[in-house]
A and B are shown apart, each in its own frame.
Chain A
Amino acid sequence: MKIIKTNHIVIAMALGVAVTTFSSCKKEFLDLEPYTSLPAASAITTEADMQVALRGTYAGMRGVDIFGRSGPVLGDLLGDNVYQSVQNSNRYTLYNRFEQPVTDGNADGMWAQSYSVILRANNIIASAPTGTPAIDQYRGEAHAIRALMYFNLVRFFAKPYTDDPGALGVPLVTSYDINSKPGRNTVGEVYTQILSDLSEAYNKMTLSPGSLQFSKYAAKALEAKVHLTMGNMAAARTAALDVINNSGYSVVTAANYIAYWRNPAPLAGTNKTETLFEVTMDAVGNLAFDALGYIYNQQGYGDMLLADDLYALFTDTDVRKGLYSAGTRGGLPAVFVNKYTNIQTDRDDTKVLRMSEVYLIAAEASLSTNETEARDFLNFIATRRDPSFTGYTSTGAALLEDILTERRKELATEGDRFHDLNRLKRPIVRSANFPANARNIPYPFDKRLLPIPQRETDANPNIKSQQNPGY
């Protein structure tokens, strides 16, 4: 077949190609970069990058199911401190009854958000920069954050160390591999990692960035709490005393106690009053309706109320009683929690480690070796909260009960009580405010452990057979 007028066709083709090349055919045409992200591989290459990534790591701890809300709420609701009002927004309803299902969204959120923070910390720890005090500080803070995340996870998802260090803990992930599908390490292994991270953190940190970040003695205070939780009283005492004697931090006074809780802002590194570490929420970076305060405050959801038996423990002269008020809700008498009042603009920060607790740790950890000292540490706090109180005089088992009661009163609605009852392997005896069939929770009891999220067991065959019993 002969093609006619070949020349014309060639010219036409050339024209077409010319117009074609006119429009961009360059490589850049297809190489479009995102506007708010940088390549992961080069994201942390300088000291300044580390600082920015570290802030992102702290920001992760604002997650609603970590320190944003669920962590502290469950720490009291699953204990005997706080119950859900009959008039409620239907949050944590099933926890109120110890009936949380395997599909529970808060457990899923806690797991996912915690490991997301752990990834952020892992990347900072593994990043290249070295050699300046700031770099050491940032890396140290990342170690402390990682320790705190594992400490939370292992307490919520695994049996207490005091029960069985060989029991299934949570998977230990210390480096990034998108394809890893780890099974659960033992509780003991998790605590070993936590203590190792805290040791790194303590040794590396030299700066005082303020209460919104970890510092050397915040890491030591956490170490004291970890040892207490493990039942290592001697080590807990040593760590607590290091903080009390060397940190320069003081306990907030009775006169300043209410004002201390009203303040929504973090404290500068120079202000060493009470707060060793808190996760800060500000006017922009906050959880709005999902904030911790919103579920306590009667101007918000106000679902969570203080148990009557706990309220009854406060004397009228106890400054802490000012953080609660009696009223009615849902047609029933109720005690409102006014610890978190900042539910507009700058929201309340979530306190994680306070100096008062360090004293109470020191008290409990000293009990077996030096009862007098234990009592002194206890009274140091108790008399500063109730100026009319002359101090405990109890001994032995009664003194332990007094310490635990003081912990309950001092740390109420800060998410501590449930973990205390677990490490002590005690039954949870809840007041008549709670649903009738969930007032006596024995130890052990399946639902005292949260479910490994179904999303995790669905995606990770190695953990599928390691679900906690009862789910």
Chain B
Amino acid sequence: MRKLLCALLCVLVVMSNAFAQSRTLTGRITDATGAPVANASILVKGTSIGTTTNDNGSFSLNVPETAKVLVFSAVGYESIEQRIGSSNVFNISFTSLDQKLQEVVVVAYGTQKKPEITGAINTIKGDEVANRPFTSVDRALQGAIPGLQSVQGSGNPGSIQQIRIRGIGSINASAAPLWVIDGNPINTGDLSRLTTSSNALNSLNPNDIESISVLKDASAASIYGSRAANGVILITTKKGKAGKTKFNVDLEAGTSDIAYQNEKYKPLNASQYFDLTREGLINFGIAPANVDGVMTANFGFGNGVDFNWLDNVTRRADQQQVNLSASGGNDRTSFFVSGGYFRQQGLTVQSDFKRYTGNATITNKATEKLKFTLNTSAAYINQNAPLNGGAFGNPILSSYFLLPSRAARKEDGSLNITAPDFGPGALHNTIATAELDKRNLNQFSLRSNLMAEYQILKNLKFTSRGGIDYNILEEDQYNNPFHGDGFNVNGRAFSRYTRYSNLSITNYLDYKQNLNKDEDFYLDFKLGYEAQKSKGYFTNVQSQGFPPTSDLIVASVGATPIAAQQDASDYAFNSVFSVMNVNYKDRYVISASGRRDGSSRFGPNNRFGNFWSLGFSWNVDQEAFMKNVDFISQLKLRASYGVNGNAGIGNYDWRPTYGFGVNYNQLPGSAPNNPGNLDLTWELNKPLNIGLDFGVFNNRISGSVDYYVRKTSNLLLNEPTSLTTGFGGVTKNIGAMENKGVEVTLNAIPVQSRNFNWNVNFNFATNKNRITALVNDADIVTGVFIRRVGYDFQTFYVRQYAGVDPANGDPLWYVDDTKGETTNNWNTALRTADYGSATPKMFGAFTNTFNFKGISLEAQFYYNFGNYVRDTWGGFYMGSGNGGAFNKVVRQLDRWQQPGDVTDVPRYVFNGNRLAQNFSTFYLAKGDFIRLRNIQLGYTIPKSVTDRLKMNSIFFYARGTNLWTWVKDENMPFDPEAGVSSETNLEVFIPKTVTVGLNIGF
């Protein structure tokens, strides 16, 4: 790879020098104060011949004799065109645009100047997510945006990242935001069916992103109607810039290790396990004289083996990425092309990820009125993910459950896959299955977007956009005939083919009407139509009975076909929408939006719905009376309210149906599979947002404060039914909940000087979730959670652990909420809803950035407070003997041993002590943590050097990700980041990563 890259670089450098030269123009560009403008662009109009100014504002450009006009431009200044006369010297003075006023933000169906924004929108630039050691862009959003919770459940590269904006707004429907790439609403989430966890956004190379806008309130998001309730994330990809073709090469490599490990939750070694088990067997009732015999026969006692499974299934992992891009064009046509390669290993065997991406955008101004943009990106992904949770083939499970007396290999080095250690029905040797089995995902994704903009009149524009978002997933699983999941059926193979083809079109008119002569009082009006149809197509093949080799792994080799299935699932949306903004001198802005949505996901009784928003902003800083208040550089008040919806349910949930495929003796059978609900319709979400943006002392201190109340009603609720109906639940529009909170962003520049800058960014968000209505306001218990009116959505419904009886080592639980009386009968202990929730009370990030000359140092801490994390499988390795034949963790050694012992770990009894293994607060840990999410040290080579090398920029960096983690609870078993529902599931560990990188521009 490296050789190839060098060759490529050489070719590119030669090419860029190969242009003919005939005349040299020089000059200097300054601003109104006479200060030099660096990095301004000078371009020969109608060509790609151009250059940029250096730090002194000077430039030198060779142009052909035919060149007629030069175009001077720079960010934040008005562009200037000048005819090339006889003079070869051009000294230009730029007029500065008021940057605050002119900075545009990508919003739904277009862009807006900052003062026009009435809603809660956060934006981040592409370089904040580029070159990160993350497989998908959503991982890079953690801590970046106040009120946006981005949580990882598994450290497996390519696994899903859960995003929640302003809390969880739904009980059973999706709580994930809508993602829109260049106007194209895309299918996101985990589209795989065999892979433990994957993420459709893996196909988007973060280095291709120009900007990200997160729409959080009604004013910003309601225009997306029935899918806006959980927020909308708009991605804008990079477009070409006119001028000499610029190349960028980004190289990065790194290594990772387990981010957080608790010594108390490491598995026992052989002597620890046998000492504990001897005690447990005696407590169980085995005669002491027989105990060693039982341990020898069952557990390999005395076989001299002490194998550390955890160390052997985990590994130090490495990763690389390479990104190349080129951008250029002339004033008619510009392009951006890029290619990317990303490879990351997971921290366990069988876990890795590779991605190849290509992206091309071309923009052409066909006439002064007509502009086309075509963007196409493709990605190929190869992902391997081990099993998780309770699967015998899960390497993490095996590292906690397998006895240290079972070795992965025999003395001769061959795999240990037979009795007595790994006989039929026993836990699997996951080192063997990692070698012999296969679990693979190949994903091919294509996104293409064609947009035409036609300027009908000076103040009327028509935009038409059509897009496709296409994902193909090929998943293969092979289980060898010798050991593991395939043993019993002489080997088996699964093949799943999944295709999602998602087409959408949007047409809209954008009309601007001036309402006064100065043209600073105007109305902007959009009217549009949008349609989308997504088709899912699925096949499923399974066979078993394989020849005795692990070299033949595809389903065709299997002697017995088990499954040959094909299915499909579609949805469609059809909408008209309109937005209107009235802007009075950038002082007062009123915005309104409306959308009428129809969806195939709802029954004919309630298929269409109307959504709207109203917003208002007052830019106080633009008032005449503020002109003399110098220390306030920005002051703005915003308010918005509206209605949007959530349609995030199954495609056919409303239909009462009989499903087929419920076969008997291989003859067709049918059975009721969905109770349905003809009245089903979307959830209604009514967000109120009040915001304040401020900047003082020339924006040395600036920030935003938002207060929101998000009321959701008509919840798409799976109401548990009496099981005697034949169904476990039915989806209804019942219930209501509320999220409210405060989001604060603060930016400060404590030091700003010629050579040294210090930036501080702090963001903070609270969210209080409360269920406000349920079916008859009756509690709904779902697994370990209770949905109760007045309580947080993710409230644990749990028996309260009361410690250990010092007299006999029994586990005790409280009989009631008063925490007075205790019992050793888990069944009669009271479940309470007043202990805690899986939802954090607050989270955010604190970032410091230092720049000294070319050196930059950035450190971001992410923090999360106020939730509890459940140790889902703790009942086995911390269950006081439950599952006695499985290994335990170090904390189990704290068990009660004799009367008078005071400890919180009960007496150890082989195969369990009085249901100590069952769920109680013993298995909840406080979730508070602080993590050094990102630390980066970088160095930019001085321009004098890069100029000599004929380069634009060279930047070196070293980055650490998750390098340090502080956890409040000493009994936190695994990484405190355990998905939105805060439940550990024996997943691949979340990594801490160190990478070094090099970015070159030329």
Contacts and interface: CB of A to CB of B under 8 A. Distances in A.
Given A12-B456, A12-B462, A40-B657, A176 B600 contact: no
Which of B489, B563, B598, B671 has the largest count of A CB atoms less than 10 A from its CB? Answer: B671
Q: Indicate the member of B607, B664, B675, B727 with the most A CB atoms within 10 Å.
A: B664
Interface string B360-372: 0000000000000
Contacts of A116: 671, 726-727
Contacts of B572: 29-30, 32
Nearest to B779: A458
Given A34-B652, A301-B425, A12 B457 contact: yes
Contact of B662 (A56, A302, A460): A56
Given A1-B513, A15-B462, A120-B672, A470 B655 contact: no
Interface string A14-29: 0110011001110001
A300 B424 CA distance: 6
A93 B527 contact: no
Interface string A300-329: 111100000000000000000000000010
Given A36-B567, A58-B669, A345-B545, A299 B918 contact: no
Interface string A36-51: 1111110110000100
A437 B145 CA distance: 58
B562 interface: yes
B488 interface: yes
Contacts of A11: 456
Contacts of B570: 32
Interface string B630-657: 0000000000000000000001100111
A12 to B, nearest CB: 4
Interface string B444-460: 00000000000011001
Interface string B540-559: 00001100000000000000
B721 A56 contact: no
Interface in B413-470: 424-425, 456-457, 460, 462, 464
B22 interface: no
B424 A298 contact: yes
B346 to A, nearest CB: 26
A330 B456 contact: no
A167 B451 CA distance: 73
B137 interface: no
A111 B569 CA distance: 31
B297 interface: yes
B722 A330 contact: no
Contacts of B457: 5, 8-9, 12
A454 interface: yes
A1 B521 CA distance: 13
Interface residues of A, number: 105
A119 interface: yes
Given A119-B672, A453-B723, A34 B490 contact: no
A460 B723 CA distance: 9
B722 A463 contact: yes
Contact of A300 (B488, B598, B662): B488
Contact of B670 (A56, A266, A282): A56
Interface in A263-314: 266, 280, 282-285, 288-289, 294, 298-303
Interface stretch (A99-107, A128-136, A366-374): A99-107
Interface stretch (A177-185, A218-226, A228-236): A177-185
A303 B511 CA distance: 75
A126 to B, nearest CB: 12
Contacts of A212: 664-665
B665 to A, nearest CB: 5
B532 to A, nearest CB: 10
Contacts of B607: 30
Q: Which of B509, B567, B669, B673: most chain A CB closer than 10 A? A: B669
B304 interface: no
B289 interface: no
A344 B559 CA distance: 13
Contact of B293 (A13, A53, A331): A331
B531 interface: yes
B276 to A, nearest CB: 16
A59 interface: yes
Contact of A38 (B531, B660, B663): B660
Contacts of A283: 560, 562, 666
A258 interface: no
B671 A53 contact: yes
Interface in B95-127: none
B138 to A, nearest CB: 29
- Central interface residue in A20, A58, A94, A176, by most chain B CB within 10 Å: A20
Contacts of B533: 29
A420 B658 CA distance: 38
Contact of B658 (A43, A88, A280, A298): A43
Nearest to B723: A112
B827 interface: yes
Interface string A70-102: 000000000000000011111001100001011
A99 B651 CA distance: 42
Contact of B720 (A49, A455, A463): A455
Contacts of A19: 464, 507
A397 interface: no
B911 A285 contact: no
Contact of A180 (B651, B674, B722): B722
A338 interface: no
A259 interface: no
Nearest to B781: A458
A44 to B, nearest CB: 8
Contacts of A111: 723
Contacts of B720: 455, 458-459
Contact of B665 (A12, A33, A86, A285): A285
B663 A93 contact: no
B917 to A, nearest CB: 10
Contacts of A40: 656-658, 672, 674, 676
A34 B490 CA distance: 36
A37 B673 contact: yes
Contacts of B911: 86, 93
B990 interface: no
Contact of A176 (B296, B505, B674, B725): B725
B500 interface: no
A289 B488 contact: yes
Contacts of A463: 722
B515 interface: yes
Nearest to A119: B726
A74 B659 CA distance: 30
A37 B511 contact: no
Nearest to A436: B285
Interface string B690-728: 000000000000000000000000000000111111111
B820 interface: no
B668 interface: yes
A182 B658 contact: no
A120 B515 contact: no
B465 to A, nearest CB: 11
Given A20-B529, A34-B651, A87-B885, 17 more contacts: A8-B456, A25-B574, A29-B531, A32-B572, A36-B659, A37-B658, A37-B673, A37-B674, A43-B670, A87-B298, A115-B725, A122-B726, A179-B725, A180-B725, A294-B425, A331-B294, A331-B295
10 contacts: A30-B572, A32-B571, A40-B658, A52-B660, A57-B671, A173-B725, A300-B424, A332-B297, A435-B285, A436-B285
Interface of A: 1, 3, 5, 8-9, 11-13, 15-16, 19-20, 23-25, 29-41, 43-44, 49, 52-60, 86-90, 93-94, 99, 101-103, 111-112, 115-116, 118-120, 122-123, 171, 173, 176-182, 212, 266, 280, 282-285, 288-289, 294, 298-303, 328, 330-332, 343-345, 435-436, 453-456, 458-461, 463, 470-471
List 3 tightest A-B contacts by C-beta distance, closest first: A331-B297, A119-B726, A55-B669
